[in-house]
Structure 1
Amino acid sequence: MPGPYVVPVHGDAELPTEVDVVVIGGGIIGSSTALELVESGLRVALCEKGGIGHEQSSRNWGWVRISRRDPREVPLMAEALRIWKDLDTRTGRDTGYRRAGIVFTCVDDESYAQHEAWNRNLDGYQLESRMISAREFHDKYPGNKMDLKGALYTAADGRAEPQRAAPAVAEAARDRGAHILTECAVRGIETSGGRVSGVVTERGAIRCSAVVLAGGAWSGLFAGNMGIDFPQLKVLNSVIRTKPLEGGPEEAIWHKDFAIRKRKDGGYTIASGHENVVNIVPSTFRYGRQFLPALRHEWRSLNLRLGMRFLDEARIPRRWSLSEPSPFEYNRVLDPVPHKGIQDRAFVAAKRAFPVLEKAEIEQRWGGYIDVTPDAVPVISAIDKVPGFFLASGFSGHGFGIGPAAGRLMANLVTGRTPIVDPTAFRFNRFSDGSRIELISGF
């Protein structure tokens, strides 16, 4: 099942012998981190085992939203909205970003009250976000067939093109002197005196004093080979892309049964608003206890599935030496088969709500693995066990929009500069220091 077409980024032919920082992972988080670091004056190498942005960074919905985020992410996302606004100019490339607004529908009084209460998280941010009535919703979208109490409308939110964004940011980093290395898996990290001293890639070694792991769904496996336990699981999200269509909504719209986002090409990205698949794999049992609160909270939305994926992951080595090929060299791109039933239900629901979509034709289907943490909040943190090693992963489906600001925060931590926001909520040791791991709803 081929994934979406991603703007190609050709990797450098030569491997540098030494840089200040190696960033592992060429998605939106890794690329943004590399850009921030090189703009800080550091020598940077970005190493990607496959192609830039070929996994979840190009397979997400393309929403750039602050609305209905976990409150712990709101300050960082407010920074991200500021960065996105000027990102095309900064990179000299088209990311497809547009401040087009996002609407979260409310089907009853309870849902309306929840969204209204959530919106107080934006007090003081001077961002345009408000509740709208059912009448205003119907005036805004004439011809829709939705039975609603109202909606949360955040005009400050926007959209961008996932297949363009990470490549644009990575190329901008290269413009400023970063090394961009594709099909160049990092096998592991070397240390000297207990500190990071370099990495070993499949193409050779690179000396460095700091490493940022932004490997998405692969981060837990990489960290585990270093003896670092990162609780991380994967959730399969399934997406439809339609051919261009006139007359549909401009804003992205969420409903429990569907989520739609207009694309720059005039088509729509459509997915279920709540349904995902969780494959039962060995890590499910390894981290089941830590994820139990999340499973209890989200069980209605999760399709648990036991199949060949269990055996596939059971065969992946959890330990390897740096002198032998790593698991990352045997699987360049995670390209899971989407759940057609979930996609079809979402498409039918979207057409029922917006009859104009009856004319929509499906151009492509794809799946993508979202990497999640027990509290659905990312780790953007130094790893105390290995000085010079940093982790930026576990974005739990929220990484695309927040990516540019996450990269800036990560660069702040690496350089020792004042963080753009308080990083406490994103610290890695919250999973081991006795802190209460709490899943907070997006309301």
Structure 2
Amino acid sequence: MPGPHVVPVHGDETLPDACDVVVIGGGIVGCSTALELAERGLKVVLCEKGGIGQEQSSRNWGWVRISMRDPREVPLMAEALRLWDTLDARTGRDTGFKRAGIIFTCANEKELSAHDRWRANLRDYQIDTRMLSAREFGDLLPGSRLPMAGALYTPADGRAEPQKAAPAIAEAARDKGATILTACAVRGIELAAGAVRGVVTERGSIACQAVVLAGGAWSSLFSGRFGIDLPQLKVMNSVLRTKPLEGGPEQTIWANDFAIRKRQDGGYTVASGYDNIVDIVPASFRHAMDFLPALRSEWKALSFRLGLRFLDEARIPRQWSLDEASPFEYNRVLDPVPSRRKQDKALADLKAAFPVFEKAEIAQRWAGYIDVTPDAVPVISDVEAIPGFHIATGFSGHGFGIGPAAGRLMADIVTGRAPIVDPRAFRLSRFSDGSKIELISGV
């Protein structure tokens, strides 16, 4: 697999006959949910069809940010920042988390005003965030040639290592008694009187009272097998990492043409700041009306293409028997080929803005599929039609940073505990109850 090297997590040998909760998906949200539930004394089994954290949870930029979030995510992300502060101690492992600050640059006065207005979303939180003039940006980052009107700077924001975080959380969940099963796809849920009574995996059945689907880009396919309409599409982002480089910025930086994050090894993660690829697939037509408002406002940031991916997804069955191999067993890890053109352009634009990167050497390239919803806000919700079934997915490229808090909120919903934040904005039913679906400006 040419994707990034992820800290390996070896799955448990034995498939339990029964547990309290089965978590489907070993990304950062699924692992965080499993840890939260295990810490509350529940018997938890986490099932991952491939390896822990090997899809988008290890392929993202590694940003842990509250700045420029959709306002509906801000309360949950404030909780996430607090959780990240103690995550290494809590798990007993290194996640690479550091509050090094994130800067969103503004190319013109219009962007500057919009970013300044966004700061009102943090009015109720004790979070250090401020606007920088172009001169102040230059003083903070000497040697920059990036033209700008100013920037939004949030020193409280942080960064972490995507290839370490989900594995650390999964191992901590196992320390608390959870069973971690890798290369163990869940084919489906079993029902009794319309409610969850267990799951069927490729290795056998597990009886349980609750299921959490945290399947990332696979969630819509899985839930659709049981009549649940979850509007979700995939967006591909291409990333490269450099070898260690001296003299580069400590802060994480977003600009229209590039986005960078210093890595724990001294190298940098580099990607386009605003350019992603959307493959036209059969699901594009099924969910076209759901995503129309988003397309109207975000089409400039998306490159649409029609290619072999259409045929690949057209071949995937949407219905299957639980006693036969499921689609999840035929594709263990989504590992798309990155766009070298977009990567090379991002690096060239970065070199023009910060000459120190002229010395940068590319160490690796990869791509990942971001699972997006029509309003770019996640689903963290029970499923009213199937008691005991819950979904945590659709994080729309914002899931890594918010993952620990999303896991806590999901655990609150499963156990009936008072939620850490109001979960109404994340309910699945918003896509079917007549609610207005809005894409609120953010990054």
- Asked whether the two chains share a fold, i.e. TM above 0.5, the reply is yes
Report the alpha carbon displacement of residue 146 of structure 1 after superposing the two structures with TM. Answer: 1.1
Q: Equivalent residue for 1:22?
A: 22
Report the alpha carbon displacement of residue 276 of structure 1 after superposing the two structures with TM. Answer: 0.2
* SS in structure 1 of the partner of residue 33 of structure 2: helix
Report the alpha carbon displacement of residue 46 of structure 1 after superposing the two structures with TM. Answer: 0.3
Q: Equivalent residue for 2:70?
A: 70
Q: Equivalent residue for 1:266?
A: 266
Q: Equivalent residue for 1:43?
A: 43
- Residue deviations 1:296-350 (CA, integer Å, cap 9, x gap): 1111110000000000000000000100000000000000001111111101001
Q: Equivalent residue for 1:350?
A: 350
Alignment RMSD (CA, Å): 0.6
Q: Equivalent residue for 2:251?
A: 251
Letter in 1 for 2:362: I
* In 1: Cα distance, 2:333 partner to 2:252 partner: 28
1:195-344 equivalent positions in 2, closer than 5 A: 195-344=195-344
* SS in structure 2 of the partner of residue 199 of structure 1: strand
Report the alpha carbon displacement of residue 213 of structure 1 after superposing the two structures with TM. Answer: 0.0
Q: Equivalent residue for 1:382?
A: 382
* SS in structure 2 of the partner of residue 105 of structure 1: strand
* SS in structure 1 of the partner of residue 96 of structure 2: coil
Does residue 359 in structure 1 map to residue 359 in structure 2?
yes
Report the alpha carbon displacement of residue 132 of structure 1 after superposing the two structures with TM. Answer: 0.9
* In 1: Cα distance, 2:56 partner to 2:303 partner: 19
Report the alpha carbon displacement of residue 147 of structure 1 after superposing the two structures with TM. Answer: 1.3
- Residue deviations 1:371-414 (CA, integer Å, cap 9, x gap): 00000000000000000000000000000000000000000000
Report the alpha carbon displacement of residue 442 of structure 1 after superposing the two structures with TM. Answer: 1.3
- Residue deviations 1:79-115 (CA, integer Å, cap 9, x gap): 0000000000000000000000000001111110000
Count of paired positions: 443
Letter in 2 for 1:340: R
Letter in 2 for 1:359: K
Q: Which runs of 4+ in 1 moved over 6 A?
A: none
Identity over the aligned pairs, expressed in percent? 72
* SS in structure 2 of the partner of residue 30 of structure 1: helix
Report the alpha carbon displacement of residue 223 of structure 1 after superposing the two structures with TM. Answer: 0.3
* SS in structure 2 of the partner of residue 88 of structure 1: helix
* SS in structure 2 of the partner of residue 15 of structure 1: coil
Report the alpha carbon displacement of residue 360 of structure 1 after superposing the two structures with TM. Answer: 0.3
Q: Equivalent residue for 1:91?
A: 91
- Residue deviations 1:139-181 (CA, integer Å, cap 9, x gap): 1111110111110000010000000000000000000000000
* SS in structure 2 of the partner of residue 100 of structure 1: coil
Letter in 2 for 1:13: E
* In 2: Cα distance, 1:124 partner to 1:276 partner: 33
- Residue deviations 1:191-215 (CA, integer Å, cap 9, x gap): 1111100000000000000000000
- Residue deviations 1:52-86 (CA, integer Å, cap 9, x gap): 00000000000000000000000000000000000
Q: TM-score if structure 2 supplies the norm length?
A: 0.99
Q: Equivalent residue for 1:104?
A: 104
* In 2: Cα distance, 1:193 partner to 1:147 partner: 63
Q: Equivalent residue for 1:427?
A: 427
* SS in structure 1 of the partner of residue 385 of structure 2: coil
Segment of structure 1 superposing worse, 25-34 or 146-155: 146-155
Unmatched 5+ residue regions in structure 2? none
* SS in structure 1 of the partner of residue 100 of structure 2: coil
